[in-house]
């Protein structure tokens, strides 16, 4: 977990935030559990502390964690609710894409086929 891919076009702070969110979803961190400190994470990942700080700020704005001055950062939501929010986001994106595909003339059977194929993903 928490692998940073420098080749990825996504900014690093987003990758870090996403990785932590993943861990919450998969139960690595439970609700109200304390996360590693900014400095510790920065050292482990060899990343600028400012970047970690920004990832935490993003997670806090999403309601995934909360910070207590002088104590640290803590998980605010349980994995299930975070997972539900994520699925809602993905659902919205899927709907938008499906809408665009329909506007280009793709019919529902074709679109459904795309999302259901288990193999052959690029």
Least distance (Å) between residue 40 CB and its own copies: 20
Q: Which is nearer to DNA, 48 or 91 (CB)?
A: 48
DSSP 1: -
Chain length of the chain: 122
Task: Count CB neighbours of 113 within 10 A.
Answer: 11
| Spacing of C-alpha 101 from chain mean position | 25
Q: How many residues bind its own copies (CB under 8 A)?
A: 40
- Does 45 engage in binding with its own copies (CB under 8 A)? no
Pattern 62-91, DNA, x by CB under 7 A: -----xxxxxxx------------------
Q: Which of DNA, its own copies, none lies near 23, with the C-beta cut-off 5 to 8 A by kind?
A: none
Measured at the CA of 84, the angle between CA 76 and CA 38, to 5 degrees, comes to 35
Q: Cα separation of 11 and 56, whole Å?
A: 14
Query: What would the two tokens of residue 61 be?
Result: 């704005």
> Which residues bind to DNA, rule: CB under 7 A?
11-14, 35, 37-40, 47-51, 53-54, 56-57, 60, 67-73
């Amino acid at each position: 977990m928490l692998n940073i891919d420098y080749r990825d076009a996504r900014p690093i702070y987003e990758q870090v935030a996403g990785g932590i969110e993943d861990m919450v979803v998969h139960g690595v961190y439970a609700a109200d559990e304390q996360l590693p400190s900014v400095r510790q994470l920065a050292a482990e990942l060899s990343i600028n502390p400012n970047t970690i700080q920004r990832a935490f700020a993003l997670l806090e704005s999403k309601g995934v964690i909360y910070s207590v001055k002088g104590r640290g950062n803590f998980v605010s939501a349980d994995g299930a609710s975070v997972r539900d929010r994520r699925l809602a986001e993905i659902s919205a994106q899927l709907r938008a894409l499906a809408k665009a595909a329909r506007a280009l003339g793709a019919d529902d059977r074709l679109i459904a086929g795309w999302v259901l194929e288990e193999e052959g993903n690029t």
